[in-house]
Amino acid sequence: MAGVKVNYTYEQLMAEVKQYISNPKDLALIEKAYLYAADKHKHQKRRSGEPYLVHLVQVSYILSTMRVGPKTIVAGLLHDVIEDCGVTKEEFLQDFDEEIYNLVDAVTKIGNIEFKDEKEYLAENHRKIFIAMAKDIRVIIIKLVDRLHNMRTLQHMPPEKQRKIAAETLDVYAPISHRLGISSIKNELEDLSFQYLDRDKYYEIARLVEQRRSERDAHINKMIEDISAMLKELNISFRIFGRSKHLYSIYKKMLTKDKAFGDILDLLAIRIITDTELTCYEILGYIHQKYRPIPGRLKDYIAMPKMNMYQSLHTTIVGDAGNIFEVQIRTEQMDSVAEKGVAAHWRYKEGSKYNPAKEQKEIEEKLTWFKDLITLKDEMGGSDAQGFMDALQVDLFDANVYVMSPKGRVIDLPNGSTPIDFAYRIHTEVGHKTVGAIVNGNLVPLTTVLKTGDVVELRTSKQSPGPSEDWLKIVKTSNARNKIRSFISKKMGEKREPVIEKGQALFRDEIIRRGYDQEYLSGKKLEHLYGMFNYNNAADFYYAIAVKAITISAIMEKIYNRSTPLDNQEVQRLVNKNEKKSVNTKHGISVAGIDSMMISLAGCCQPVYGDEVVGFITKGQGVKVHRVNCVNIAQEKQRLIDVTWDDNQEHLRYPTSLYVESSNRNNILSEIIAIVSAQKANMTFISAQETEDGMSSITRMTVNVTDLKHLNTLMTNLRKIDGVYKVDRMNNG
Ligand code: MN
């Protein structure tokens, strides 16, 4: 609950630190920072009357619970010495190194961001600049924790200041912790802010929650008992507990869904933690078997993680007495990411050399991976949230520049951008009519490269003939480049038809040359394709191809990514390792004159008993058995050899991968899982993702079947699911 009294001392800080840091040098450094801060701040007191040092120790304590590295703890202790004690860089560097100085300096600068006018985009600007200035994730975490502690002790501030700080926290700090997935900090910041921004509402909800507590606890405990008994019987390892929603999230649900307190569904909430992803789905299946799920409430954030890396299964079920429960199912690792977000990936490991650049890179890869995987709109903030996540990624990991219009609007541009990029970002017409630029009060050439903090004013003229070819060489952003190209091609507009035809021919030839699916040449698939490049019709798309506004290779890449189900590595992962071992010596297949040890099933087409198959004599790996129509052997003639299935197959299982295309409706994944389990096809892998247009969902899975007949029955049943329009075996050619 908000307003908790916490009072961590230096002893408690060190006790926490010693749980994961043992290097005497690091411990000595932390002690030195503590003594340094104690000395520098010795005459300062907080509004509460406590010595200022208390704040620093407590910030560092919270940081240590997040298992940050020693330098981050040191920076936490020293984060106010530049600002409050006037310590200069030279002075600082006599005692501590440059890396720590940079952390403290960045924390200080972020603290000093001030905006003059209260425009509606203020909060967004603030968040952007905050992140742009931080650069290093450690700075953001220190700043978030600093704010968390200040919010915990906000009662000592005058009311006016309380509201201002609480509003800023809600607008800037809570969303940033959300973006980074640090829900423990986000939730506390939100509840604390809420308490100061709308005291009446806060206490009303707190009272309502409290009133129903014993009744609620009884329901939850009963449900926990029932589910525990069921899972124990099934020999599934798990942890289960009830959880309470934080007050602000209840309040927000009441507001956005216009509901009374009593109607908020997920007040009764249960979380189940288990060991593997597959067990999560298994548990979900059993729970849905036992309790009625509420339609439309199943969310599979495991297959489709949120932007901030959050993964979990969510479902809502009706319990025995008609009570409604929200159930979350996830692994330990997912739970840790859910609570600590990026910080969970950042855990300081002693002995491993801490390298900020390397760590940053790892997170970058993680975020990129997640970004590629999903196009989910975030439930909290719609498309703005998505935009912010994109911005966050660029801000944190690319060297971006932030420039301002004279009115204080912040525009982010890639490094190397010029005033023309800026102009096109403001408005297309502004771009076309720009004739000059004034940066920080000086007239500059349009080729000038902009830096963060530049204030850019544009000179436009109605008489301007518009952009010329030369500008294409000056601009950095694809946005500006596309607009200049389209302006130029429109000016030359008269001969559009032949250009369109040329583009169409280029496109068609390339599809055929690469042997891609010719369905992309017309109809739905073509529509999807040009939609992905933001074109509304085929003519504009072909035109863009002809004038090279989009490159043919970019288009081909999109098709390739959409139509290639899995890469080899993934297929390797698909094959259940144990399964592979036990079957390895005998696959139920014979080749005249060849030892069965030397025969194995090809991973690419994954034949099952009953498939028409052929052997391929590999170099040094014996005979690989492929399905006869496998593309990998299509060109082979000489090295093929006849193989035959043995008759007695009963004990064998064949792993094979399926590809399911379906509408993107909510429960479809659980229905697919239910069919597979009803068919006893022992699933060993599943992954689902939305298509780029968000209309469909592609599910890939590996099942283990006894033979072709079993597989066909399974596929037929999958096709019967409402909304499934394609079920295929995968042949990773
Ligand atoms: Mn502070």
Interval 310-343: pLDDT, tens: 899 999 888 877 788 889 999 998 998 888 776 6
* pLDDT given for residue 186 in this prediction: 92
**Percent of the chain scored above 90 by pLDDT?**
23
Q: How far is ligand 1, taken at its centre, from the CA of residue 26, in Å?
A: 22
* pLDDT given for residue 342 in this prediction: 67
* pLDDT given for residue 485 in this prediction: 81
- Using DSSP's 3-state secondary structure scheme, residue 305 falls into coil
How do residues 607-623 score in pLDDT, each as one tens digit?
998 888 888 877 666 78
Q: How far is ligand 1, taken at its centre, from the CA of residue 144, in Å?
A: 10
* pLDDT given for residue 139 in this prediction: 85
Q: How far is ligand 1, taken at its centre, from the CA of residue 361, in Å?
A: 28
Looking at the predicted structure, is the pLDDT value of residue 161 above 70?
A: yes
More confident residue, 372 or 657: 657
CA nearest 184: which of 67, 39, 41? 67
As a whole number, the mean pLDDT across the chain is: 79
* pLDDT given for residue 437 in this prediction: 93
Q: How far is ligand 1, taken at its centre, from the CA of residue 140, in Å?
A: 13
DSSP-derived secondary structure letter, 689: E
Q: How far is ligand 1, taken at its centre, from the CA of residue 696, in Å?
A: 48
Q: How far is ligand 1, taken at its centre, from the CA of residue 150, in Å?
A: 7
Mean pLDDT of 75-94: 92
More confident residue, 14 or 693: 14
Looking at the predicted structure, is the pLDDT value of residue 150 above 70?
A: yes
Lowest mean pLDDT among 60-64, 118-122, 251-255, 465-469: 118-122
How do residues 104-148 score in pLDDT, each as one tens digit?
998 887 776 655 445 444 555 566 666 656 667 788 889 999 999
Lowest mean pLDDT among 313-317, 388-392, 531-535, 680-684: 388-392
The alpha carbon dihedral of 25, 27, 33, 36 has a sign of negative
Q: How far is ligand 1, taken at its centre, from the CA of residue 107, in Å?
A: 9
Q: How far is ligand 1, taken at its centre, from the CA of residue 56, in Å?
A: 7
Looking at the predicted structure, is the pLDDT value of residue 263 above 50?
A: yes
More confident residue, 692 or 645: 645
3-class SS letters over 358-406 = HHHHHHHHHHHHHHHHCCCCECCCHHHHHHHHHHHHHHHHCCEEEEECC
Q: What is the C-alpha separation between 475 and 421, in angstroms, rounded?
A: 6
Q: Which of 31, 50, 83, 364 is catalytic?
A: 83
Q: How far is ligand 1, taken at its centre, from the CA of residue 146, in Å?
A: 5
Q: How far is ligand 1, taken at its centre, from the CA of residue 143, in Å?
A: 8
Tokens of 355: 């390298």
Looking at the predicted structure, is the pLDDT value of residue 12 above 90?
A: yes
* pLDDT given for residue 593 in this prediction: 66
How do residues 424-480 score in pLDDT, each as one tens digit?
988 888 999 999 999 888 888 999 998 876 788 999 888 888 898 788 888 887 778
Indicate the pLDDT class of residue 92, thresholds 50, 70 and 90. Answer: very high
Strand partners, 293: 317
Looking at the predicted structure, is the pLDDT value of residue 100 above 90?
A: yes
Contact between residue 659 and residue 719 where contact means Cβ atoms under 8 Å apart: no
84 included as an active-site residue: yes
Instruction: Measure Cα distances from 416 to 399, 445, 472 in Å.
Output: 10, 14, 14
Q: How far is ligand 1, taken at its centre, from the CA of residue 518, in Å?
A: 62
Looking at the predicted structure, is the pLDDT value of residue 33 above 70?
A: yes
Q: How far is ligand 1, taken at its centre, from the CA of residue 141, in Å?
A: 12
Q: How far is ligand 1, taken at its centre, from the CA of residue 148, in Å?
A: 10
Mean pLDDT of 683-708: 81
Q: How far is ligand 1, taken at its centre, from the CA of residue 17, in Å?
A: 20
* pLDDT given for residue 362 in this prediction: 58
* pLDDT given for residue 329 in this prediction: 96
**Which amino acid type is present at position 726?**
K
* pLDDT given for residue 389 in this prediction: 40
Q: What is the C-alpha separation between 86 and 706, in angstroms, rounded?
A: 75
Indicate the pLDDT class of residue 357, thresholds 50, 70 and 90. Answer: low
Mean pLDDT of 674-701: 80
Q: How far is ligand 1, taken at its centre, from the CA of residue 79, in Å?
A: 6
Q: What is the C-alpha separation between 60 and 77, in angstroms, rounded?
A: 6
Non-local CB neighbours of 669 within 8 Å, separated by 6+ positions = 298, 300, 303, 686, 688, 697, 699
Q: What is the C-alpha separation between 34 and 10, in angstroms, rounded?
A: 8
Element of type H or E holding 685: strand 685-690
How do residues 474-508 score in pLDDT, each as one tens digit?
888 777 888 888 888 777 765 677 888 889 999 99
Q: Which of 39, 84, 509, 612 is catalytic?
A: 84
Looking at the predicted structure, is the pLDDT value of residue 397 above 50?
A: no
Concatenated DSSP letters of 95-143: HS-HHHHHHHHHHHHHHT---SS--TTHHHHHHHHHHHHH-SHHHHHHH
Looking at the predicted structure, is the pLDDT value of residue 188 above 90?
A: yes
More confident residue, 386 or 422: 422
Looking at the predicted structure, is the pLDDT value of residue 665 above 50?
A: yes
CA nearest 130: which of 165, 176, 163, 174? 176
Q: What is the C-alpha separation between 337 and 330, in angstroms, rounded?
A: 10
Lowest mean pLDDT among 105-114, 254-263, 439-448, 665-674: 254-263
Phi, psi of 537 (to 5 degrees): -150, 165
Looking at the predicted structure, is the pLDDT value of residue 422 above 90?
A: yes
* pLDDT given for residue 507 in this prediction: 92
How do residues 537-596 score in pLDDT, each as one tens digit?
888 889 888 877 787 888 887 777 665 443 344 334 433 333 333 333 467 787 766 677
Indicate the pLDDT class of residue 363, thresholds 50, 70 and 90. Answer: low
